[in-house]
Structure 1
Amino acid sequence: MFLLVRNSGDVLWYGLVTVVSSFGSAIFNFFRLRKLVDLHPCRPWNFRQHLYPIFTFFFMSVATTVYTNLDTVMLGVMKNNEVVGYYNAAIKIKTILVTLVTSLGTVLLPRLSYYYEQGRETEFLSLVSKAFSFVLLFSVPCCIYFSVCAQPVVEFLSGPGYLPAVTPMIILMPTILFIGLSNITGIQVLVPTGREVLVLRSVILGAIVDFLLNLVLISQFGASGAAIGTLCAEFSVTALQFWYLRGMLKSIVTSIEFKELFISVAVCSFVLWLLTGVHLQSLFWQLAVTAVSFFGSCGLTLLACRESIVMNAVGKVLKLPAGNRGDPID
C-alpha cells in the first residue's frame, strides 16, 4: 500500500492490493488443498443439514458489517465528507490494532473445536483462559499508549490536517479491548460449542445500539458522536456474550494473572508519563522512543513478574526447559 498508493489516481492499485490481501491466500490454499483432500463428488448429498448454520453465519456477518459501517454511512448523510474523512483516519488506526488482537482467534479456533468435540473440558477452559490473558496483555497497553499519544500518531500517519480525528480516536481505543474479548467469547467459545445463534443475537443488539446512538449523537458531536456509538455498541456485544457465558467465565477469570497485568500497566504508564514532556523534532523518533520505552518497560515488568505467557514465549525463543517457562501454552 505504501509503495503503490501515492495519490488519488492510484485507486486501481488500492483496489488490487485490497482484494489480493483479503482473498489472495484463499486462491493459493485451494490449490494446496488438493494435496490434503481428495476432491471428488460424494453422494448422496444432503445440503439441508448445512442450511441452518450457513444462514446463521450469513446473518451474523451481515449484522456485523452493518454496525461496523453504519457510523461512516450515517456520518456522511448527517454531516459531510470532511467529517467522514476525520473519522476514517481514527477508524483505520483502530482497525490495525484490532486485527492484531483478533488474529489469535483464527489460530485457536480449530484446537478449541477439537477439545470440545473430544470432551476435554479442562484443556478447553485452559486454552480459553490463556486467550483472555493474551488479549488483556496486548489490548490494555495499546489502549493506554494510543490514547495518550493519539495526537502524534494521527499527525504522523495522516498529516497535521487530520488533527480533528484525535478525539474520536481516543474514544475508540477501548473498543480494542471489547472486540478482543468478544472475539474470544463469540468466535472461540460460543461458535465451537454450537451456540452461534447467541453470537447472532449479540451482534444484532450491537447494530441496534449503534444505530440509535448515532441517530442521537452524530448531529450534535459529529465524528466523536459516531465514535461513542461504536464504543457502546462493542461494549453491548461483549456484555451480552459475557452474560451468556457467566457460568463458564467464573472458572476462567480466576486463572488470569491480573496482578502481573496491573503491575506492568502501572510501570509502563509511569514511564510514558515521564516521557510526555519530551518533544523531539521528528514525529517518527518521538513515537519510536515513546513506543519502545512504553512497551519495553511493559514486557520487562511482565518478565520480572514471571507472567506465564511471557515466560513461555521467552522460553521457546531461548529453548529453555519447560519447567523454567511458567505455565506452557498448548
Structure 2
Amino acid sequence: MIKPTLQRLAQSPLVRNFSVLTGATMVSYLMSFFVVMHVARTLGPEEYGKVGFAQAFVSYFMLIASMGLETLGLRDIAKDKSRAISVLTNITILRLVLFSIAYSMMFFFLYLFPRDHISNTVVLVFGGYMLLTPVMQEWYYIGNENFKIVGMSRIVHSILYCGLIFLIIRRPGQVVEFTALQVGANIIPLAVLWYPLLQRINLRYFDFAQIRVYLRSGVWLMLSSFMAMIYLNMDKVMIGYLLPGKYLGWYDAAYKIILVLIVPSSLLWGVMSPRISRFERRDILLWVAGMAVVGAGIALCIFPVRHWIVDLVFGVQYAPAAAPLGILALSMFANHCAKAFSFPLQVWRCERYFFFAALAGACVNVILNVLLIPRYELEGAAWATMAADTTVALCALPFFVRGMRKGKARNG
C-alpha cells in the first residue's frame, strides 16, 4: 500500500516540476554564492557596500518596471492556457513601456539624492537589470508548468556569470566592472527564454482593454511589492546614508546569506503557485505547512553557527556581520509565515488585501529603522526586519483565511 503511494507521488507532476526547478536553482545559487564569496573578499566591505546600495536603490524602480505583471500573467495562463499568446503579447508590450518610465524616474531621483561618483555609476549600470533579467519571462513557462526551459536558463546564466566574474574581477576597485557583468551575463539566458516566445507574440492580440485590466491589478501589486520592498531593503538604503560604507558591506554580507536561505521558499512558490491559483485545497495546506517547517528549520540551524558561517564565507574582515545574521536567521520563521499567508492573495484576486498587510509591515519597518539604526546600528536594522515580518504574517492571516473560504465556496 505504501510503496504504490510513494511511486505515484514520485511520478506526479508536482514532484517532477519541483525536482527540475530545485536542481537548476540549487546549481544556480551555489555558483552565485561562490561569486559572492569571491567578490566580497576581492572588493572589501567598503566597495562591496556600494554594490549593495545600488541593488537596494534600483529595486524600488524595478517594481515599476515589473508592476506585478509576472504574477498576473502566470495566474491567467494557469487558469486558461488558450489565452497564453494574448497574455504574453500584452504583458510584453506593457513591460517595455514601464521599463522606460522606471529608468527615467530612477535617473531623476539619483540626481536629487546623489552619492559619490562611483556609487552613482553603479546604480545607473545596474538599472539595466530591470530590462534584462530573465525572471521577467519565466512566468510564461511557469504558468504553463513547463519548468525544463526555466531550469536550463538558470543553469546557463549561472555558468556564464560565474565564469566571467572569476575571469575578470581580480582586484579591488572593480565595482563598476562587476555591476556590468551582473547585468550583461543575463543576455544569453534571456535569449534562451525569449527565442521560443518571439515566434508566438502576435500584435493582433494587442488589447487595450486587457492592458487596462493589468494596470488596475498591477498597481495594487506594485504598491504591495513597494511596501514589501521597504521592509526588505529600506534598512540597507538607510544604513548606506546614515553609516560609513563598511557598515553596509557587513550588513549586505549577512543579507546575502539570508538570500540563499530563502531559496526553498522561492522554489515552493514557483511550483505551487499555479495550483494555488486554482484553489486546490490540499496543495494550499501543503504550501503553508512546508513554509512553516522550512522557516523554523532555518532559524534553528543557522543561529548557533552564525559566526562560523560569516568567517567561512566572507572572512574575518566581515566578522561584524554575524550579529545581524543571527537576528535575521531567527526572523526566518516569521518571514516564511508571512509569505505563506500573503503570497496566495496575489493570485486569488485579493491584491488589495496583500497591499494592506505589506503596508503594515512597511510602516513598522520604517519607524523602527529610524529609531533603532542610529542607536543600535546593524542589530537595530535586523530587529526592525523581524518586527516587520511578524506584522505582515499577523495581518495577512485573516485575509488568507477569508480567501480560502471564498475559494471553497466558488469551487462548490
Same fold (TM over 0.5): yes
Q: What is the rounded CA distance, in whole Å, between the counterparts of 2:398 and 2:172 in structure 1?
A: 46
1:71 aligns with 2:71: no
Deviation at 1:137, TM superposition (A): 3.1
Q: What is the rounded CA distance, in whole Å, between the counterparts of 1:72 and 1:156 in structure 2?
A: 23
8 Å contact kept, 1:102–1:180: no
Q: What is the rounded CA distance, in whole Å, between the counterparts of 2:224 and 2:171 in structure 1?
A: 35
What SS does the corresponding residue of 2:205 show, helix, strand or coil? coil
**Partner in structure 2 of residue 147 of structure 1:** 303
Alignment counterpart, residue 202 of structure 2, candidates 21, 25, 39: 39
Alignment counterpart, residue 201 of structure 1, candidates 346, 356, 374: 356
TM-score computed with the length of structure 2 as normaliser:
0.53
8 Å contact kept, 1:98–1:179: no
Query: Where do 5+ consecutive residues of structure 1 fail to align?
Result: 117-123, 251-330
**Partner in structure 2 of residue 18 of structure 1:** 182
1:235 aligns with 2:390: yes
Alignment counterpart, residue 180 of structure 1, candidates 332, 336, 343: 336
Q: What is the rounded CA distance, in whole Å, between the counterparts of 2:230 and 2:298 in structure 1?
A: 26
Deviation at 1:205, TM superposition (A): 1.4
Alignment counterpart, residue 94 of structure 1, candidates 258, 263, 284: 258
Identify the structure with the greater helix proportion.
2
**Partner in structure 2 of residue 266 of structure 1:** none
Q: What is the rounded CA distance, in whole Å, between the counterparts of 2:231 and 2:403 in structure 1?
A: 28
- 1:80 to 1:209, Cα distance in 2 relative to 1, 3 A: same
Q: How does 1:1-330 map to 2 (within 5 A)?
A: 1=35, 2=38, 3-4=166-167, 5-19=169-183, 25-34=189-198, 37=200, 39-42=202-205, 45-46=208-209, 47-113=211-277, 115-116=278-279, 124-187=280-343, 189-246=344-401
Q: What is the rounded CA distance, in whole Å, between the counterparts of 1:23 and 1:53 in structure 2?
A: 29
- 1:86 to 1:196, Cα distance in 2 relative to 1, 3 A: same
TM-score computed with the length of structure 1 as normaliser:
0.65
Q: What is the rounded CA distance, in whole Å, between the counterparts of 2:226 and 2:333 in structure 1?
A: 22
Deviation at 1:20, TM superposition (A): 5.4
Q: What is the rounded CA distance, in whole Å, between the counterparts of 1:22 and 1:239 in structure 2?
A: 37
What SS does the corresponding residue of 2:347 show, helix, strand or coil? coil
Identify the structure with bigger relative contact order (alpha carbons < 8 Å, sequence gap 6+). 2
Deviates more, 1:69-78 or 1:23-32: 23-32
Deviation at 1:241, TM superposition (A): 0.5
8 Å contact kept, 2:235–2:369: yes
What SS does the corresponding residue of 1:170 show, helix, strand or coil? helix
Letter in 2 for 1:216: L
Q: What is the rounded CA distance, in whole Å, between the counterparts of 2:249 and 2:185 in structure 1?
A: 23
Q: What is the rounded CA distance, in whole Å, between the counterparts of 1:22 and 1:13 in structure 2?
A: 15
Root-mean-square deviation (Å): 2.5
Deviation at 1:149, TM superposition (A): 0.4
Q: What is the rounded CA distance, in whole Å, between the counterparts of 2:401 and 2:213 in structure 1?
A: 30
Deviation at 1:43, TM superposition (A): 6.0
Residue-by-residue CA offset, 1:109-160 (whole Å, 9 max, x unaligned): 12222x23xxxxxxx2210111123223333222111100001100011111
Percent sequence identity is: 21
8 Å contact kept, 1:89–1:158: yes
Letter in 1 for 2:317: G
Query: Larger Cα Rg: Structure 1 or Structure 2?
Result: 1
8 Å contact kept, 2:361–2:388: yes
Letter in 1 for 2:374: S
Q: What is the rounded CA distance, in whole Å, between the counterparts of 1:107 and 1:141 in structure 2?
A: 20
